[in-house]
Amino acid sequence: MTIPTLTLNDGFTIPQLGYGVFKVPPADTERTVSEALEIGYRHIDTAAIYGNEAGVGAAIAKSGIARDELYITTKLWNDRHDGDEPGKAIAESLEKLGIDQVDLYLVHWPTPAHDNYVHAFAKLIELREQGLTRSIGVSNFLVEHLERVVAETGVTPAVDQIELHPTYQQREVVAWAVEHGIRIEAWGPLGQGKYDLFGMPAVADAAAAHGKTPAQTVLAWHLHKGNIVFPKSVHTERLRENLDVFDFTLTDAEVAAIDALDPLDGSGRGGSHPNEFN
C-alpha cells in the first residue's frame, strides 16, 4: 500500500494520512504506535501536552524502521511561547521521542490573550534554521492569526492543523490557507463521536454505495478535499480500517452531499474556540 504524499510550501513532502495519538493514554501509546507502524502507517502526530511522546519514541526505536521513512510531528504548548522556551520545549520533546529532528513542529494554539504567538512562531523559524525541525507550522490558527504571523515574520507556515469535519469545515480558514500555500491538517476528522456523523444519510448512503464503512467514507471525503488526516484509534482493526481508504473515490455528488452537512453558522464546532482558549 502506498499512502499519498503532499508537497508543502517549503518543498518537503508529508504523508496525507497518518496516526494521531491525541488522548491515547501514555501507557498504551507504545503498543498502539507499534501496531500502527506494523500495519503500514509512517506519519505519527503527537504533542507535548499529550504526555505520550516517550511512548511514541519507544515505538519508533522498537520498530527498526529507518528514520527517513517516518514522519513525526509534535507541538509547542501554550505556556512555552515566551523567551527561549520554544527551544527548551523542542529539546525536551526530541529527548522523549529519541530523535534528533522532528519533521514538523507546530505552535499548538495562538492563545491571543497573551499576544505571544508571533514570537513563538518566530522562534520556530530559528529552530528550523538550527535543524531541529524540517518544517514549521501552526495549529488552531484563524485567518487573523495567520495574517499577523506572515506579515510580522515574513514566513508562511507550512500547515495549519485545525478542527475540521463534515459539520464544521472552517471554509474561511481553508480558503485563506489554500490561497497562501498552507496545507490543512484536520484534527477530529471523524467528529470525535460528538454527533451522529455516521448516521447522516449523506455519509451512510455513500458508504453503502461503495461497500465501505461510514468512517472510511468520511476519510475519503477528507482526502478528496486535500486535507491531511490522522484519525486516532487504540483498536487494531480500526487502525487497519482507517488505512484502507485508497481503493475507492467518492463521486462529485457524494462529496457535495457531505459538503452540505456544514450549517455554516459555527454550531458544528466540537472543540474550543481559538480566541477563547488561552
The two beta strands, 19-20 and 183-187, are unpaired
Is residue 50 flagged as an active site residue? yes
How far apart, in whole angstroms, are the C-alpha atoms of residue 70 and residue 165?
A: 26
160: helix, strand or coil: strand
Q: Which helix (H) or strand (E) holds 74?
A: strand 71-76
Torsion-angle region of residue 192: left (phi > 0), alpha (psi -120 to 50) or beta? left
Could you say which of 19, 41, 50, 117 is catalytic?
A: 50
Classify residue 154 as exposed, middle or buried by CB count within 10 Å of its CB (0-12, 13-18, 19+).
exposed
- Residue whose C-alpha cell is 495562538: 110
Alpha-carbon span 72 to 103, nearest angstrom: 5
Q: What angle do CA 249, 250, 255 make, to 5 degrees?
A: 145
Beta-carbon-side half-sphere exposure of residue 47 (alpha carbons within 13 Å): 20
Alpha carbons 81 and 76: distance in angstroms, whole number: 8
Say how far apart CA 233 and CA 20 lie, in whole Å. Answer: 8
d(CA 56, CA 25): 11
| CA distance linking residue 271 with residue 252, whole number of Å | 29
How do 133-139 and 43-45 pair as beta strands?
unpaired
Which residues are marked as active site?
Answer: 50
